[in-house]
Amino acid sequence: MAFLENLFGKKKPELKARCPITREPIESGYGYLLTTAQIIASKKYWDMIMTEPETVSYTVSHFKNQSSGTQMRSMIFEKYSNVGKPWMISDSCINLFENIDKQTARENAKKWWLQHGNFSPENSGTASEALDAETFKNLKNYAVLEAGRSRIVLH
């Protein structure tokens, strides 16, 4: 019976990946695998996140010294910094991350594909788990207090 189930049973669903930034599909074997610590360490990433159409009003409020905007930006930071699994990033977004080794990130992506999504690079987990407290605090301060400043116009 087990032989017949194996022969005619359901196939495992095909592994798929989408870039969490653009939502574009990533072809099997491609992409870059980054940890949450690597993601949140990027100022370019935070500048983009905090000035997207969905978040720009919080950024404007923050820079107008309205605590509600700062509070929302803090919640946005917490949402992204608490992702525990690695991020599969597309070719079109990899340049948001300045201080990474692209070759290693590409090799890690290949391992992720080969292991059917069950590979995690070193220092995976939430950012607060992977980073020392001082580094985490500095990254949070940039994301919450400074990100997007040069991209908005206050009236």
Q: How far apart are CA 139 and CA 102, in angstroms?
A: 21
The position carrying tokens 């019976």 is 1
- Cβ pair 123, 55 in contact under 8 A: no
End-to-end CA, the chain? 73
State both tokens at 115.
């292991």
Q: What is the pLDDT of residue 150?
A: 92
Write the pLDDT tens digit of every residue in 76-128: 999 999 999 999 999 999 999 989 999 999 999 999 999 999 999 999 999 99
Write the pLDDT tens digit of every residue in 19-47: 999 999 999 999 999 999 999 999 999 99
Does residue 3 register a pLDDT over 60? no
- Cβ pair 144, 77 in contact under 8 A: yes
Q: How far apart are CA 23 and CA 50, in angstroms?
A: 17
Considering the entire predicted model, what is its pTM?
0.88
* Closest among 22, 11, 18 to 117, alpha carbons compared: 18
